Amino acid sequence: MPAGIKDVASAAGVSVGTVSNVLNRPEVVAPATRERVQAAIGRLGFVRNESARQLRAGRSRSIGLVVLDVANPFFTDVAHGVEQVADGNATMVVLCNTGESPDRERRHLEMLEQLRVLGVLITPVDAKSPVIEAMIGRGMPVVLVDRRSVRRNRCSVAVDDVLGGRLAVQHLVERGHRRIAFVGGPFSLPQVGDRHAGALDALAGSDAEDLLVVETASLTLPSGRQAAADIAALPAGRRPTAVFCANDLLALGVMQELTRSGLRVPRDIAVVGYDDIEYAAGAVVPLTSVRQPRELLGRTAADLIFEEVEQGSGHRHRHVVFEPELVVRESSALRRRPRARSDGPRPAAAATAVAS
Amino acid sequence: MPAGIKDVASAAGVSVGTVSNVLNRPEVVAPATRERVQAAIGRLGFVRNESARQLRAGRSRSIGLVVLDVANPFFTDVAHGVEQVADGNATMVVLCNTGESPDRERRHLEMLEQLRVLGVLITPVDAKSPVIEAMIGRGMPVVLVDRRSVRRNRCSVAVDDVLGGRLAVQHLVERGHRRIAFVGGPFSLPQVGDRHAGALDALAGSDAEDLLVVETASLTLPSGRQAAADIAALPAGRRPTAVFCANDLLALGVMQELTRSGLRVPRDIAVVGYDDIEYAAGAVVPLTSVRQPRELLGRTAADLIFEEVEQGSGHRHRHVVFEPELVVRESSALRRRPRARSDGPRPAAAATAVAS
DNA sequence: GCAGATTCTTGACACGTTTCAGTCTGGTGG
DNA sequence: CCACCAGACTGAAACGTGTCAAGAATCTGC
């Protein structure tokens, strides 16, 4: 039904080859002809058929981005970074949401492969998925996002979560806290495990008590409230004076429930979160949090994909690890002087690359 | 480079037609042959070429969803609803982000049209964009999302923002407030204008004072803080006892700054937001807000697109308007019983009330 | 064992585009 | 006047798939 290049050609009284040239290499066709063709295009409302172009070219002009949850600010920021790079390469981003379902992940990957995308950026539900493995085997460039690659046959970009956990707890120790709790779970998530490990690291060299671990079922607000209720129920002598939460949603839930229980943040209990989501700074007591270079993560992942696409088989896979950064706000202010706000300029994120 | 249907055919010792049948109508091919072909497919790692299929079929199996901001929870929920319906129709959703830039919108729409998507769901940057008009003229089904259609040549789904504004302010009036402020802007956004109009409606039949309008530059946290600073600076006698904000981000900013200024929510000033984003319930003082049926909005928009695709030219455009719903929480609690916080200490930041 | 029915397979064409080897035209230098 | 050239345009092939009419093989009933 819609007009094709052929209709344009006959309307303008030229051959299809000439129309194609007007579209792709306008400089090789005489100005008069060019105008005639362009007029016909406008008159007929001609729109190029991308499928035919791709079929002919053998590959598409798009990349796939597969994330666990589009509603998560972490991933929307990553997506934004990816988009910037894709834009610069005249490439479309096909954003897919798995909702942590392996089945949806599989279906999306199949679709992307059928679309012949140039490459796939993915935060996999399960890092050792055979579906991804098979796709790589068929020659599809893949970059792991926010996961460190277990295998050597792909690139990856990630943030050092162990370091992040260490930064958070070091900060609390420096502020004088000796009884510190870790709130997070489930421990099957690599992030939770790593941040917890970092917290232990930080305590190892100090004179603080052992880390009190409050395991949660998920990384959500309600889980945070539940954990805070448990903490508030402890006798004052055994109650921690500071809490490090595995993400900001937990921390917000913790703060809410602590306040409801009559405990003041940071005066009675200091709180540190992780992710530095937009609402962390906007909480009634602005939240100290560990910030990850999210857009940079996305940009780097996209850069790696385009690098691999260009270099082809000569490509050597790289594993980029970024360093997170602690953003200190009121929720961990000194217990003596509750109002010391340092939201100052931040150093550029540092990256260490490991080639394989 | 990748294996095609032809390679599979020769590997399995059959014709291409048979391979195609195995893929699309397995029941018409003999079990033995079918297995032989499937084995060849597995062995060669054959993946269908979606471009070729689309070219042949004349249309794709995907729809476009164009939103103003993927990071906005409103749109991620809408997208989730769209996805559900698309899933049921074996259709992909191509999610595009305009960031409110007309230029990016134009580029995305061109790309979607070239991809021959079945239809486009869009919250346009500018409701009367000629680009969209032209696209509709070429026969592309379009559904306006969160906008009421000015013209009759397309479907639309929206939420009644005037009603939402009325609900919010009616609630405040019923709670006994007589001096009420509206915080929002810019007024060029239809949402802001409609919610403001609803607020005026609600006041019209009451004995309350005129609405105090605090116009903001945007619908963000910092704008909310700024507005709250202006409000807090008013002499107590002229200061509103309740604030209705055009969205939740503004409301969170307002609450934060009011608290910082020593005014308590809801005891000194009640606050009502709009959107009921996840963090509205999670604020330290849970926010009363107007909830929109976001997923339903997305599902309905997708339903309309598929309806139009099926019915073709026999389709009659429809305009669906949903009703929002007020979710009452603590931020607008009655002024007599501020908070059942038995003997708990008061928040540090609210130690002194500003009197005049 | 045969006509006819049924089941299975084949092969060519079409989809809309890009590419490329040619053809045609008019002009230039010898 | 001829040979040559550059510039402008043409026409057909190819990309990988789905469809469909027609052919081949097998089965059914007698």
CB proximity under 8 Å: B 56-85 to A: 58, 60, 70-71, 73, 76-77, 79-80, 83
Contacts of B249 in chain A (CB under 8 A): 282
Structure-model confidence comparison of residues B285 and A198, the more confident one:
A198
CA angle, A129 as apex, A275 and B8 as ends, to 5°? 135
Residues B18-66 have pLDDT tens digits of 999 999 999 889 989 999 999 999 999 999 999 999 999 988 999 999 9
pLDDT for the residue B79: 96
For residues A307 and A301, what is the distance between their CA atoms, to the nearest angstrom?
10
B348/A51 CB distance under 8 A: no
- Would you call B223 an interface residue with chain A, using a CB distance cutoff of 8 Å? no
Determine if strand D comes within 7 Å of the CB of A29. Answer: yes
Chain C bases near protein Cβ (<7 Å): 7-12, 14-21
CB proximity under 8 Å: B 257-276 to A: 259
A79/B73 CB distance under 8 A: no
B79/A70 CB distance under 8 A: yes
- Would you call B348 an interface residue with chain A, using a CB distance cutoff of 8 Å? yes
- What mean pLDDT comes out for the span B321-338? 84
Question: Closest nucleotide to A58's CA, by C1' atom?
Answer: D15
pLDDT for the residue B335: 60
B45-70 b/e (C-beta count within 10 Å ≥ 16 → b):
ebbbbbbbbbbeeeebbbbbbbbbbb
Can you read off the two tokens belonging to residue A282?
Answer: 């906007």
Dmax of chain A from CA atoms? 91
- What mean pLDDT comes out for the span B256-260? 89
B138/A49 CB distance under 8 A: no
pLDDT for the residue A352: 54
Long-range contacts of A46-49 (CB under 8 A, 24+ apart): A46/A2, A46/A3, A46/A4, A46/A5, A46/A7, A46/A8, A47/A2, A47/A3, A47/B110, A47/B113, A47/B114, A47/B138, A48/A23, A48/B114, A49/A4, A49/B55, A49/B114, A49/B116
Q: How do B155-159 and A142-145 pair as beta strands?
A: unpaired
A51/B55 CB distance under 8 A: yes
pLDDT for the residue B343: 38
The residue assigned the tokens 């079922």 is A217
Closest CA to B332 of B295, B286, B292, B276: B286
D29 C1' to B30 CA distance, Å:
24
- Would you call A130 an interface residue with chain B, using a CB distance cutoff of 8 Å? no
C12 C1' to B52 CA distance, Å:
17
- What mean pLDDT comes out for the span B314-328? 95
Question: Closest nucleotide to B56's CA, by C1' atom?
Answer: C15
pLDDT for the residue B350: 32
- Would you call A1 an interface residue with chain B, using a CB distance cutoff of 8 Å? yes
pLDDT for the residue A63: 97
Q: How confident is the model at residue A259 (pLDDT cuts 50, 70, 90)?
A: confident
pLDDT for the residue B291: 96
Nearest by CB to B282, from A1, A55, A253: name it: A253
Res. B341: pLDDT tops 70:
no
Contacts of A95 in chain B (CB under 8 A): 70, 95
- Residue of B115, B247, B285 to mutate, interface with A, max A Cβ within 10 Å: B115
Residues B139-169 have pLDDT tens digits of 999 999 998 877 778 999 999 999 999 999 9
Count of CB atoms within 10 A of residue B165's CB?
30
Contacts of B95 in chain A (CB under 8 A): 70, 95
Res. A284: pLDDT tops 80:
no
- Measured between CA atoms, how close is B204 to chain A, in angstroms? 34
Determine if strand D comes within 7 Å of the CB of B20. Answer: yes
Contacts of A46 in chain B (CB under 8 A): none
Q: How do A351-355 and A318-322 pair as beta strands?
A: antiparallel
Residues A291-333 have pLDDT tens digits of 999 999 999 999 999 999 999 888 999 999 999 999 999 999 9
- Measured between CA atoms, how close is B23 to chain A, in angstroms? 14
For residues B268 and B259, what is the distance between their CA atoms, to the nearest angstrom?
10
Report the chain B residue with the minimal C-alpha distance to residue A70: B76
Contacts of B100 in chain A (CB under 8 A): none
Count of CB atoms within 10 A of residue A199's CB?
28
- What mean pLDDT comes out for the span A7-30? 95
Q: How confident is the model at residue A336 (pLDDT cuts 50, 70, 90)?
A: low
Determine if strand D comes within 7 Å of the CB of A57. Answer: no
B189-217 b/e (C-beta count within 10 Å ≥ 16 → b):
bebbbbbbebbbebbeeeebeebbebebe
A282/B97 CB distance under 8 A: no
Residues A224-253 have pLDDT tens digits of 999 999 999 999 999 999 999 999 989 999
Determine if strand D comes within 7 Å of the CB of B61. Answer: no
For residues B13 and B275, what is the distance between their CA atoms, to the nearest angstrom?
61
pLDDT for the residue B339: 39
Mean of per-residue pLDDT scores for chain A: 90
CB proximity under 8 Å: B 145-174 to A: none
Mean of per-residue pLDDT scores for chain B: 90
pTM to 2 decimal places: 0.86
pLDDT for the residue B205: 82
Nearest by CB to A55, from B1, B51, B58: name it: B51
For residues B185 and B250, what is the distance between their CA atoms, to the nearest angstrom?
10
Residues A114-166 have pLDDT tens digits of 999 999 999 999 888 899 999 999 999 999 999 887 777 899 999 999 999 99
CB B254 within 8 A of CB B271: yes
Report the chain A residue with the minimal C-alpha distance to residue B104: A87
- Would you call B278 an interface residue with chain A, using a CB distance cutoff of 8 Å? yes
pLDDT for the residue B338: 39
For residues B34 and B204, what is the distance between their CA atoms, to the nearest angstrom?
74
pLDDT for the residue A205: 82
pLDDT for the residue B282: 72
A49/B60 CB distance under 8 A: no
Can you read off the two tokens belonging to residue B68?
Answer: 């103003």
Res. A276: pLDDT tops 50:
yes
Q: Which residues touch strand C (CB under 7 A)?
A: A 2, 4-6, 16-17, 19-21, 23-24, 46, 48-49, 52-53, 55-57; B 13-18, 21, 28-30, 32-33, 52, 55-56, 58
Res. B211: pLDDT tops 90:
yes
Lowest-confidence range among A43-52, A69-78, B201-210, B345-354?
B345-354
- SS3 label, residue B32: helix
Res. B345: pLDDT tops 50:
no
B291-329 b/e (C-beta count within 10 Å ≥ 16 → b):
bbbbbbbbbbbbbbbbbbbeeeeeeebeebebebebbeb
pLDDT for the residue B221: 86
